[in-house]
Amino acid sequence: MTSRALVSFAVFAVLLDGCNCTKIEVPEQSPLSSFDVKTLDFYLDNVGIPQKLPVVEICADRYGGDSAVPNELRGTKDCPYAMARGEIQISVQATALDLHGQPAKGFNGPVSFRVVPGDLTGDYAFRWAPADGGTALGTLKTNHQYGQVRVWAEHAPPKLIYSDGGYGGSVDQLPKDPVPPEKWTYATGLSPIVYFEEPTLARLQIPDDLDNRSSPLVGEFLTIGKRPESGSKQLQSCTNDPARDGQVVKMVVTGTDPTGFFVTDVTACRQVEEATARPHEPLEACVGGKCEVSQLTCSSSAQCKRYGPGTFGHMFIYNYSFPDGLDTGDLLWTLSGSVQEFTSTTQLTFPSWTIAERVHMLPQTEWNKYLDQVAIVDITGRMCGIDDAAVPFLTDSLCGHNKRNLKMEANESGMVRVRNVRFPKVFVNCDQNSDGTVPFFCEQTDSTGKWIWGSCAFGEVEPELDRVERTCNHDCVVGLNQYSDTICSEESTFVGFGQFVVELTPPGYPGGPLDSSLSARYQELSLSSALAAPVTPYAAGSPVVLACNAPAHFRFGDGTAVDDSDPVVVRDQLIRHTLQPGETKVAVVAEGTVPADARCSISIDPRIRINLITKDALPDLQPNCREDDSDATKAANCHAMHEATFDVVGHLRQVQPARPRWVILPRDADDVCCHPGPGLACPKPIKQCGGLSP
């Protein structure tokens, strides 16, 4: 120390000795330093009967079944637990340790628990446990575990449950705060890593329960897939899909967007349908003594499983801008980002990705090498979730309206197709106050118990202007009152969001332009030179659709008479007719030579609608055209549009406030084609299906 430093220190000491300073006591160090935490078991509660949490299928197969996997291997890196759908329970032991790392046997305070990653569930009794002789034994209820999981123990208050601006749960189950001079020490310990399977696109999308409005992992920042330099590959774990079990996760870009891109995992597991699904999918086929997908031994399909129409393996990646350097058809190694919901469509935000193969660096003949592996799912009445019943229900007109519909959810952000849809003929502006919005509408019952469309208010009084706009909106979109005989779309919604209503093809015989997914929706008639009529009559006023796969004379009435003087329906032509008083059936008889398997079908048309957005794929298309346009060319093009039907391929998105709630977004002009009306060409700029428009 220099002489100058010695002088300065002496002066400081004198000043300090003469001042009236507050003396700060050194805080007493807690005798509790941490916890030694052990996870004893992981299990599911099956109606009060605990069952071991299953490991991934790849590991279970290695040992001849999940029950044969040794306990000491469960939850290890080579044998991770499967991500559970819903709640799991964890038995945990936390031993208090003193400052020397030895058991603090005198500690008898409460120990709270948490799990990372994951969310605690259940009441407070499952969030903490009292220590006895320094050791606390507790059971946690939690969900949403994936990847590397640890259980934390802490001498601190348990995590509270918040509800309606206050505390939820049974607060009397909370431990007492320490009595002074004791206090919470916040001493903490964590368990060794327990391995769960890594998340996939499907795991992000599959909801915990029958509700399609959100992802179970909202708010989590995670990574899907593995880069090759990690030294490992992410493999699928498919309990009910042996063909895809153990396959490497393969994520393909299916389309780009001004704000991001869509991606599909083409190896995602096929999903067994929920037992409560309505209506059911058909059973898988029994082929050569084996069920086609599950590979179970069978003698008939009755011993096989039902699989949903989608895998949940799709996602929209919200990049806030166009994803430069990424092309449709590219293969990705990894995706990272935060899971968020936008209008009930799950997406990754603040994303990053690594590209495994840039297909546009290859010869053009190989640009679709991965895209061709992406399944395109047809949207039918069954997928829309309408019941297999002859008479439509109120909500049948809106495809996928029920929030419990997981058939649509399983294909959210995936590639879908609709066939023979009709575009709107009328656009009606229901925005009376010009604020750019109209109220949406919900189903409800009136005073007699009849289902009607009404407001979505929760007890509050609906303003009169809202009632007027809402009534106009549902009359147009659903097809009520003055719009009952046409297809109508609300114009301000089209102007603001580019979306408009299209109508799906009605039910009818297979092999033609109709929807045969629900057999109870239509009646088939064997077509011959003898008169044929449906067995079950329809009520007057019902909108019915008649179609035949061969020319036939037809007459609406009581089904007892038809002759050569009656009009002819040609092959696959749709005759739409509203039954008049005294009309309950249709009678048909073949015209000319009767081909093999000649038949007709008749059904009540449920007028199922879904939304479509074409402004990016076909910016020159004007669906809100007018047939009385003063420009003769535009008027003729509009007439051609109204008389045609269309096949559309695109990505499926959910928009909860919209009516209908589901929207299809074609990628470009090649995703839309036309079946022109009789004697007409396709409207510009749409090409004809199976060829080019004249």
> What pLDDT shows up at residue 319?
93
Instruction: Copy the structure tokens of residue 313.
Output: 């393996």
Which stretches of the chain drop beneath a pLDDT of 50?
6-7, 11-12, 692-694
Q: Give the H/E segment covering residue 205.
A: helix 201-205
CB contact at 8 A, 505 and 399 = no
> What pLDDT shows up at residue 459?
75
Sign for the CA dihedral angle at 371, 373, 374, 378 comes to positive
> What pLDDT shows up at residue 457?
82
> What pLDDT shows up at residue 306?
97
> What pLDDT shows up at residue 8?
53
> What pLDDT shows up at residue 692?
43
pLDDT of 310-368, one tens digit each? 999 999 999 999 999 999 999 999 999 999 999 999 999 999 999 999 999 999 999 99
Instruction: Copy the structure tokens of residue 568.
Output: 């002819």
Q: Is 378 exposed, middle or buried (0-12, 13-18, 19+ CB in 10 A)?
A: middle
**CA 459 centroid distance within chain:** 29
> What pLDDT shows up at residue 276?
86
pLDDT of 522-579, one tens digit each? 999 999 999 999 999 999 999 999 999 999 999 999 999 999 999 999 999 999 999 9
Strands (E), 495-644: 499-503, 522-526, 543-548, 552-557, 568-569, 575-578, 585-590, 599-604, 609-613
- pTM of the predicted model as reported, rounded to 2 decimal places: 0.90
Strands (E), 213-344: 221-225, 251-257, 260-265, 286-287, 290-291, 314-318, 331-342
> What pLDDT shows up at residue 18?
57
CA 305/CA 455 separation, integer angstroms: 40
CA 505/CA 512 separation, integer angstroms: 11
Sign for the CA dihedral angle at 454, 460, 461, 463 comes to negative
Q: Domains, the chain, ranges and CATH?
A: 32-195 (no CATH), 201-271+308-375 (2.40.50), 407-504+609-688 (no CATH), 519-604 (2.60.120)
Written as one letter, the residue type at 670 is D
